[in-house]
Amino acid sequence: MLLDQHYLFAPGPTPIPDRVKAAMNQPMIAHRSQEFPKLLEDVSTRLMPVFGSENPVTVLAGSGTSALEAAAANVIEANDHIVVIVAGAFGDRFAAICETFGANVHRLNIEWGNTCKPKQLEEFLQSIPNDIKAVFATYCETSTAILNPIKDLGAVVKRLTNALYIVDGVSCIGAVPVDMKGWNIDILVAGSQKALMLPPGLAFVAISDTAREVIRNCKAQRFYLDLNRYLASYETEKSTPFTPAVSLIYGAQEVCNMFEEEGFENVIKRHQLLKTMTREGLKAIEIPLLTSDEDASPTVTAVRTLDAPSKQMKKMLKDKFAITVGGGQKKLKGEIFRIGHMGYCTPFDIIKVLGSIEMTLKFLQGTNVLGKAVKRAEEVWMDHV
């Protein structure tokens, strides 16, 4: 049967728009040429509203984890005390990075599937006698599909500590509001392959003036991920210290065009709509969800697979409908699957995945809910047109 594409609903990498592909296919340029600085400056400054940053956004060649490591390795020296909110696999990864570089990591463990409440952070910070160098939070914890209340947590960090507030925005920046200054964020990192509609291979770091001073004075060993080198190269020649991933940066320029044409406010609203359509549709056919509506991310939805049919659903979606969803990670392996709905994703895509789930349920357990989830999603959509 003609299902000639992979329909990609993983929580990253996400589909690439044709116009972004075309932009990446522009003739290669040398990064020491006259053209490259214009390209880099254009992208770094036009991403500022997307990152809610007052400074141009730093662009690295690497995956999201390279940006997480850059955030750690440019701030943390051996024996520094840092607090990491661990609400899933990516909080856990950041803690592991910090431990690798010799920090004393205080983990605030949150039950997977929940968000960190400001009160929890407040009590945790008050329980630590040491000076805290940095507090780390994931904005969207991809592994559990929740969105932490970054603004409110930032207010707690600001009120109780002098720590830098570092936020992992890998799986939501480009789909959610953010205001680094207003929310007290010092370092905000993202990857290209999620809501930013690009292939993987670029990582982004937005840096506050306060963080910049800390980075300048940090004595930790680093070379490829030394942000001082990137900041200096950008300032003096609008370039990068090491060969940049030119084609992906061309793609990022086209993504900026797309954001500006749609209006970034509307990009954010669209993701809210995609979230609500997905959740309401699934609820209408009694598919159990991992998270509450309030905690859930607008970029990814986690479906529980408690009973046998749900367990087989991920495989059948792939085999019969060419739809790829994400599996559960770490302690949620086999317990959930995850539907990514971020970046180059429209309400029609949600109809597509909900319809396929309806048909899958009929195949797997004979339950006839055909059209029911789609109906509910259409109702939600119509409220927003």
Provide the binding-site residues for its own copies, judged by CB under 8 A: 5-6, 8, 10, 12-16, 21, 24-25, 27-35, 61-66, 69, 96-97, 100-102, 191, 193, 199-202, 221-225, 242-248, 318, 324, 326-327
Kindly state the smallest distance separating residue 61's Cβ from its own copies, in Å: 5
Nearer to its own copies, 248 or 287 (CB): 248
Nearer to its own copies, 13 or 113 (CB): 13
Nearer to its own copies, 103 or 156 (CB): 103
Task: Find, among 218, 172, 162, the residue nearest to 195 by Cα.
Answer: 172
Kindly state the smallest distance separating residue 279's Cβ from its own copies, in Å: 22
Nearer to its own copies, 198 or 285 (CB): 198
The answer to whether the CB of 20 falls within 8 A of the CB of 347 is: no
Nearer to its own copies, 245 or 256 (CB): 245
Going from the C-alpha of 310 to that of each of 88, 302, 318, 326, 331, the distances in angstroms are 22, 12, 13, 13, 17
CB neighbour class for 17 (10 Å; exposed up to 12, middle 13-18, buried from 19): middle
Kindly state the smallest distance separating residue 165's Cβ from its own copies, in Å: 21
Kindly state the smallest distance separating residue 171's Cβ from its own copies, in Å: 11
Nearer to its own copies, 71 or 116 (CB): 71
Strands (E), 281-357: 300-304, 323-327, 336-340
Query: To which residue do tokens 């699957």 refer?
Result: 337
Kindly state the smallest distance separating residue 207's Cβ from its own copies, in Å: 18
SS (H, E, C) 106-142: EEEECCECECCCHHHHHHHHHCCCCCEEEEEEECEEC
The answer to whether the CB of 178 falls within 8 A of the CB of 150 is: yes
The answer to whether the CB of 320 falls within 8 A of the CB of 314 is: no
Classify the phi-psi angles of 104: left when phi > 0, otherwise alpha if psi is within -120 to 50, otherwise beta.
Answer: beta
Kindly state the smallest distance separating residue 138's Cβ from its own copies, in Å: 15
Kindly state the smallest distance separating residue 357's Cβ from its own copies, in Å: 18
Helix (H) / strand (E) element for 318: namely helix 308-321
Kindly state the smallest distance separating residue 73's Cβ from its own copies, in Å: 8
Nearer to its own copies, 73 or 116 (CB): 73
Cross-sheet strand order for the sheet of 336-340: 7-9, 323-327, 336-340, 300-304
Using CA atoms, how far apart are residues 147 and 343, in angstroms rounded to an integer? 16
Task: Find, among 184, 146, 9, 163, the residue nearest to 75 by Cα.
Answer: 163
Kindly state the smallest distance separating residue 262's Cβ from its own copies, in Å: 20
Nearer to its own copies, 5 or 126 (CB): 5
The answer to whether the CB of 111 falls within 8 A of the CB of 88 is: no
Nearer to its own copies, 49 or 200 (CB): 200
Tokens coding 346: 């429209």
